[in-house]
Each structure stands twice: as structure tokens, then as C-alpha cells.
């Protein structure tokens, strides 16, 4: 049974998004007006994704010259390595490159060492440069090497393995969002007074703005929901080494080479099925869920496959 979504106003949202900045890292993002009930639906979904699923970068380990472990002390430095590691964990980093990157600092005292003293590789930017790391006495030197990695969520140091003696693994918070809360208020449009106004209160670490965080969260949710009504099936390729040359050749045929109607071939490609090998053994019910395909189309596909000596799954 098909449903015309255009007859339901909630399925055609026209709400507007605005931002009330409190600071560079703190803002209220307002969506208004939403259909009744959708304030909590949208707000709760966005809040969960904002807190758990946004990627970010953080310092995952450090190496202090002259220190063999976390409980070492450095001559001429007021803080021990443990206290320095707690300070380093507070440093927030924005990265535009993939993979682990390195940052270094080398300071001779007297000096109060801050994140501004860090020398970062290209593609790395330290956000909170005023973060204090340590205090160094006159004519004493502090050298630290830090590794920056990207990821999601929170990873404790105990789950990591040091590559070499002297590597100090750090608890790592990758999430760029510090706090999120939301509330829903009633709002009026014309004579209707039952619309929802969603207000998201968001604080980030400065590596991205609150509005950018909402944008990323919405895209993540959209990708998840799209898989429901336009599923893309990832199918493992058959082990070709056990097949005869003729069978291998059949599996390499494209969907166009099955002489299928153009509409069906295009729908299969959009659904992630490009070759006969992608189709063989795939359940018929899975194929029927591909957009623009139905039971009749599945029969046409299976008949074309059987002519090549293969078929869909049951």
C-alpha cells in the first residue's frame, strides 16, 4: 500500500533554522515552526547523535623527554608528568588531514608553557592556545611530543597499547560537543497555536560551531533513515577461485548485459547491484525493497539470471 506523503503536511517540513550566539562555542539553535509533536521527535534524535556520533580529533598519547612513565618528574618543571598529561588532555585540536599526526613543543625557562608553544604539522590547528601545560624554571628545558588522532566517542587509556617505552597513553575524548540540551515550546502561525518550536542549547569545544554540529548530526540521521526506504545491500563476492572460467565470466556480466529493461537496470545500479555476481544468491525480498522495483520486476530479473544458469536466493 503506497502513501502519498504530499497529503501530510508533516512530511513536507517548511520550518526555519536560526542561531542565537552566546559565544564562539555556545549557541541556541532554533527550529520553528514544526508540526505538533515533532519538536521532541527531532530534538531527541539530534541530541543523541550530537553527543555520541560526531567525529573529532584529540591528543591520544604523549612522550616527555626524560620521563619513562606517567609518574615521573622532570628536573626544573613544577608539574609532574601526571599533571602535565591532565593539562594536555584539555588541548583541543582541529584537523583537516587523515591519519595520526604529530605536534611538538620545546621550551626553555623561565616560562609558563601553554598550548600556544606547540608546533603543529600542516593541517593541524590548536584551538585553545591559552591552555597551560607546565611551569619551567630558569635555564631548564621541557620537550613534549604529542600524537593527534581522529575518532568518535571516548576511549580510555587502558584500552590502548604503547608502541615504545616512554609513550604515555591518554584518555581520549573525540567528541567536539561538550553539552546539549533542548526544550520545546508552543508557537503560533496564523490562527494555529499548536505548532512546536525546538530550541537546542549547544556548547562545543571550538573545533566546530554549534550550527555546524547540528548540520553534521542531521546528515548522519538522514543517512540512517535513507537505508530504510532506499536500502543499499553490500554483498560479498563469490569466491571466484573455485569457479570455472565460464562461471567467472557470467558473474562478471553487468546488469545491462542481462538485457533487462532500462528502468530495472538503472534501479539495480542505484541499489548497489552492478553485476550478476552482486545479484546471485541475494534474497528476492531484498531486491523487491530496492526503489522502483517490485514483485513483477524481481520475476523479470530472476528469469534473466536463470538464462545464464544462476538465480536469486529464496
Per-residue confidence (pLDDT) for residue 172, from 0 to 100:
92
Per-residue confidence (pLDDT) for residue 314, from 0 to 100:
74
For residue 219, the tally of other CB atoms under 10 A from its CB is 11
Q: Does 240-306 carry CATH code 1.10.150.20?
A: yes
Per-residue confidence (pLDDT) for residue 243, from 0 to 100:
64
Per-residue confidence (pLDDT) for residue 240, from 0 to 100:
47
Take residue 43 and report the three cell numbers written for it: 530534538
End-to-end Cα distance, the chain:
23
Provide φ and ψ at 191, rounded to 5°.
-90, -15
The rounded distance, in Å, linking the Cα atoms of 137 and 197 is: 56
| Phi-psi sector, 152: left (phi>0), alpha (psi -120 to 50), beta | beta
Residues of the chain with CATH 3.30.1360.10: 5-54+176-229
Per-residue confidence (pLDDT) for residue 1, from 0 to 100:
43
- CA pseudo-torsion sign 6, 9, 11, 17: positive
Closest alpha carbon to 86 in 62, 112, 120: 62
Q: In what order do the strands lie in the sheet with 192-204?
A: 16-21, 26-34, 192-204, 177-189
Residues of the chain with CATH 1.10.150.20: 240-306
Take residue 159 and report the three cell numbers written for it: 584500552
| Assigned CATH for 5-54+176-229 | 3.30.1360.10
Nearest-10 crossing angle of helices 262-270, 295-306? 100
Per-residue confidence (pLDDT) for residue 241, from 0 to 100:
52
Question: Most distant CA pair in the chain: distance in Å?
Answer: 85
Note if the pTM is more than 0.85.
Answer: no
Residues of the chain with CATH 2.170.120.12: 56-173
CATH superfamily of 56-173: DNA-directed RNA polymerase, insert domain (2.170.120.12)
Are residues 199 and 33 in contact, defined by beta-carbon separation less than 8 angstroms? no
For residue 70, the tally of other CB atoms under 10 A from its CB is 16
Per-residue confidence (pLDDT) for residue 289, from 0 to 100:
82
pLDDT under 50: residue ranges of the chain: 1-2, 238, 240
Amino acid at each position: 500500500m503506497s502513501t502519498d506523503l504530499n497529503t501530510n503536511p508533516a512530511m513536507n517540513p517548511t520550518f526555519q533554522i536560526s542561531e542565537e550566539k552566546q559565544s564562539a562555542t555556545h549557541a541556541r539553535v532554533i527550529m520553528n515552526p514544526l508540526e505538533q509533536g515533532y519538536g521532541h521527535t527531532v530534538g531527541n534524535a539530534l541530541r543523541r547523535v550530537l553527543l555520541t556520533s560526531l567525529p573529532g580529533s584529540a591528543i591520544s598519547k604523549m612522550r616527555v623527554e626524560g620521563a619513562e612513565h606517567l609518574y615521573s618528574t622532570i628536573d626544573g618543571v613544577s608539574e609532574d608528568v601526571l599533571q602535565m598529561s591532565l593539562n594536555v588532555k584539555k588541548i583541543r585540536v582541529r584537523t583537516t588531514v587523515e591519519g595520526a599526526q604529530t605536534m611538538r613543543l620545546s621550551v626553555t625557562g623561565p616560562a609558563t608553557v601553554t598550548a600556544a608553544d606547540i608546533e603543529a604539522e600542516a593541517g593541524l590547528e590548536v584551538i585553545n592556545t591559552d591552555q597551560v601545560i607546565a611551569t619551567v624554571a630558569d635555564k631548564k628545558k621541557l620537550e613534549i611530543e604529542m600524537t593527534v588522532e581522529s575518532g568518535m566517542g571516548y576511549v580510555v587509556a587502558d584500552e590502548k597499547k604503547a608502541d615504545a617505552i616512554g609513550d604515555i597513553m591518554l584518555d581520549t575524548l573525540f567528541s567536539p560537543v561538550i553539552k546539549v540540551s533542548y526544550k520545546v515550546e508552543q508557537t503560533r502561525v496564523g490562527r494555529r497555536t499548536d505548532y512546536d518550536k525546538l530550541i537546542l542549547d549547544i556548547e562545543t569545544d571550538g573545533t566546530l560551531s554549534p550550527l555546524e554540529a547540528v548540520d553534521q548530526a542531521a546528515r548522519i540521521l538522514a543517512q540512517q533513515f535513507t537505508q530504510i526506504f532506499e536500502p543499499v545491500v553490500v554483498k560479498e563476492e563469490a569466491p571466484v577461485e573455485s569457479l570455472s572460467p565460464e562461471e567467472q565470466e557470467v558473474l562478471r556480466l553487468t546488469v545491462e548485459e542481462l538485457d533487462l529493461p532500462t528502468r530495472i537496470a538503472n534501479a539495480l545500479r542505484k541499489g548497489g547491484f552492478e553485476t550478476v555476481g552482486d545479484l546471485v544468491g541475494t534474497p528476492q525480498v531484498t531486491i523487491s525493497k530496492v526503489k522502483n522495483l517490485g514483485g513483477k520486476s524481481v520475476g523479470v530479473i530472476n528469469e534473466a539470471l536463470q538464462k545464464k544458469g544462476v538465480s536469486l536466493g529464496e
